[in-house]
Structure 1
Amino acid sequence: MNIINIADTVMNRAARYHEHRVEGLEHIPASGPALIVVNHSLATYDSGLLATAVRERLGRDVWLLGDRYIFKIPVVRDLASAYGFVEGSQHNAESLLRDGELVLVAPGGMREALRPSSQKYQLNIRDRKGFARLAMRTGAPVVLSACPAADDIYHVVANPVTDWVYNRYRLAAPLILGKYGTPIPRPAKLVHYLNAPMSPPGDCSDDDPNAVDAFHAALERRLQEMLSDHART
C-alpha cells in the first residue's frame, strides 16, 4: 500500500469513527480560489476530514497549510505531504491562491491547538492577521469553517511544562487525556459548519493596517460566533 492509499485509509476511518459531516458545503466555490479558515484543535486531523469531504463531494483539491514542525517528523511528514499539506508560509499560500486553488489554514496554529480544555471553543487568533492580509492581497474570498466538537477529542490539561516547551522551542508537549484516559481519540461527533464566503474589501490595500484590522476583526468575530452557537447544538 503506497503512502497516498495509507493517508486515504486513515482519513476514511477517522470520518467513520467521528461520524463526520459538513453543513454548508455549497459555500465552497465550484471554481476559483478561496481561503478556508478553520479553528485549530489539538487533534488537527479534523481539518483533513473537511478537505476529504470537499474532494469527494465537490471534486476539488484542498491544500492545507501545516506547521513547519510537521515536516521535520519522519512518516508524519510523508503522510502530510501525500494528503495535500504544504508548509505554512505566505509565499506558498499566495502562489496557490493565485493559481485558483483552495487553501485551508488554521491561523491560530500550534498556540491555539495547545489551549487547555478550560478554554475550549475559544479562538486564539487576536494577533494572527496574516490570513486576512493574504485574502486582501489576492482578492480570494474567505470561507469560515467552525468545528467546535474537535475540542472534545482530547481533554487538554493546563500545565507549566507545555507552556515552557512551546515558549522556548515552539514545539508541542501537551498533557492530554483521550478515550479511557489514553491517547486514543475520543469518538466525538464532528460537524464542520461553513459560512457564506466573505470577500475582502476591494477598495483597500493589505498595506493599510486599519483596513486589515477591520477585515480581521469581522472574520474573527464571525468565526467565534459560529463556534459558540454550534457548541450548544
Structure 2
Amino acid sequence: MTMSENLAMDFIILCDADTERLLTNTSILSWMETVNVAMETMYGVMEDLGVDSLDIDWISFLVWMFLPIMVAFILPVFVILLLYLTALIIHIYRARHKLRDAFAVDVWLGARKTAALLWELQGKIWHGYEIHGVEKLPATGPALVVYYHGAIPIDLYYVMAKVVLHQNRLLYAVADRFLFKIPGWNLMLKVMCVTPGAPEDCIKLLREGNLLSLSPGGVREALFGDEYYRLVWKNRMGFAKVAKKAKVPIYPMFTQNCREGFRSIRMGRHFLEWVYEKTRLPIVPIYGGFPVKFRTYIGDPIPYDPNVSAQELAVKTHNALEQMIDTYQKIPGTVFGALLDRIPAFSTKKED
C-alpha cells in the first residue's frame, strides 16, 4: 500500500458519519464559546487599561454588530488559502519526485490524490457534502458535464475530488483565463486538469476519452446570479457545438444551496455588470463561506444525436438544468434555510 493510499484510509476514517454529526452539532456551540472567550478577554484588557464599563459595553455592542459582517467577507479568503495549499502540495511533490518519477505513467497521481483528499475532507466537514448520481458518469469513455456556476465553484472542486478518489478518473474543467494569471496557480491548474477551454482543446480532450466539465454561464453567472438560481447563459451554445463535434453525451449537474454558500454583493450591480462586460474583470466582491448543506446531483445523460442541431441541444441542456434546479432547490434560497439542511429533521433532500 502506497503512502497516498494510507493517507486516504486515514482521512476516510476521520470523515465517517459519526464525526460529521459531532462536528455539525458542536459547530454553533463552538462559535458561541469562541466569541464569549474573546469578549471576556477584551473586558479584562480594557479594565486593565482603565476604560470604564460604559465604553466597554459600547465596544462590545459594536463587536457583536459588525463581527458577522467581517466574518462573511473573511471566510472566502479561506478558499483562496486552500487553493494555495493545493498549489504548495503540487510544488513540493514536483520537487521531491522530479527524478524518481521521471518515467512514471502518471507523474502527478500522488499529488492529485493528496489534494483531492484535502478537498474531500474540507467538503465533508464544512458543508456535510453529498453527491448523488456520480455512478451515472461513464466508467470509461468521454462525456461533457454541464453545471450551474455558483459565486465560487467550490462544489466543482468537491466533484473533481470524488471522481479522482472513487472512480480513478480525471474530470477536466474549463476555467476563465484570468485564473491562469494568478501567481502560483499555473502549475496547480495544469496538474488538476483545468483548461482555458478553447473549443478545439475541449474537442481534443473529449475525443481522447476524457470527462470534461464546464459552465456555459461562467464568470457572468457566478457574479450576477442570485438566490433565484436563474441560468445566465446569454444564448451561449458553444458547449453544444463541442458536444456534437466530439459526439459525446451531456450530463447536467447542479449543487443544492451552492448560491447560499457564497454570494456576490448586489449593491451597484448594474455598474459592476457594465464594468465586467467592458473589461471582463471579475471585480464584484464575494462574501459568505457559510457552512450550509451542499448536495450535488448529476442528471440523466442527454445522448448524442446527429439529427439534433447545436441550438436544439443547447435548449435541451438548458431545460434539463432548469428542471433540476426546480426539483432540488428551494426558491428563493436563503442562508438560514440552507444551514437548517445540515439538520436531518429540517433537511430538504429530494429523492433522485
When normalised by structure 1's length, the TM-score is 0.87
Counterpart in the other structure of 1:111: 220
Shift of 1:126: 4.3
Report percent identity of matched pairs. 26
Shift of 1:79: 2.8
Distance 2:247 2:280 in 1: 31
Deviates more, 1:45-54 or 1:98-107: 45-54
Counterpart in the other structure of 1:230: 328
Counterpart in the other structure of 1:20: 129
Distance 1:64 1:76 in 2: 15
Letter matched to residue 313 of structure 2: F
Q: State the structure with bigger RCO (CA 8 A, min sep 6), 1 or 2.
A: 1
Do the aligned residues in 2 keep the contact of 1:112 with 1:125 (CA within 8 Å)?
A: yes
Counterpart in the other structure of 1:145: 253
Distance 1:165 1:90 in 2: 26
Residue 172 (structure 1) aligned with residue 270 (structure 2): no
Shift of 1:161: 4.5
Counterpart in the other structure of 1:88: 197
Distance 2:115 2:168 in 1: 17
Shift of 1:22: 0.8
- Root mean square deviation of aligned Cα: 1.9
CA-to-partner distance for each residue in 1:166-215, whole Å, 9 max, x for gaps?
Answer: 1221011113331xxxxxx11121111011111122235xxxxxx22211
> SS in structure 2 opposite 1:147?
strand
Distance 2:301 2:203 in 1: 18
Structure 2: where are the runs of 5+ without partners? 1-87, 91-110, 331-347
> SS in structure 1 opposite 2:328?
helix
What pairs with 1:198-217 in structure 2 (closer than 5 Å)?
198-204=302-308, 211-217=309-315
Distance 1:198 1:116 in 2: 25
Distance 1:189 1:169 in 2: 34
Letter matched to residue 38 of structure 1: Y
Shift of 1:130: 0.6
Larger radius of gyration: 2
What pairs with 1:66-81 in structure 2 (closer than 5 Å)?
66-81=175-190
Residue 2 (structure 1) aligned with residue 89 (structure 2): yes
Distance 1:126 1:93 in 2: 20
Q: Which has the higher helix share?
A: 2
> SS in structure 1 opposite 2:149?
coil
Shift of 1:124: 1.2
Do the aligned residues in 2 keep the contact of 1:152 with 1:186 (CA within 8 Å)?
A: yes
Counterpart in the other structure of 1:207: none
Distance 1:25 1:59 in 2: 13
Letter matched to residue 163 of structure 1: E
Distance 1:110 1:124 in 2: 10
Decide which of 105, 115, 127 is 2:235's aligned counterpart. Answer: 127
Distance 1:37 1:203 in 2: 21
Counterpart in the other structure of 1:208: none
Distance 1:125 1:230 in 2: 20
Counterpart in the other structure of 1:162: 272
Seen in structure 2, the aligned counterparts of structure 1 residues 45 and 115 have a Cα distance that, compared at 3 Å, is same
CA-to-partner distance for each residue in 1:130-185, whole Å, 9 max, x for gaps?
Answer: 1111111111011111113111112322224422331221011113331xxxxxx1
Residue 46 (structure 1) aligned with residue 169 (structure 2): no
Structure 1: where are the runs of 5+ without partners? 179-184, 205-210
Distance 1:230 1:99 in 2: 33
Aligned length: 220
Q: Which has the higher strand share?
A: 1
Counterpart in the other structure of 1:194: 298
Distance 1:117 1:218 in 2: 23
Distance 1:10 1:171 in 2: 30
Do the aligned residues in 2 keep the contact of 1:121 with 1:228 (CA within 8 Å)?
A: no
Seen in structure 2, the aligned counterparts of structure 1 residues 24 and 35 have a Cα distance that, compared at 3 Å, is same
When normalised by structure 2's length, the TM-score is 0.59
Distance 1:124 1:167 in 2: 13
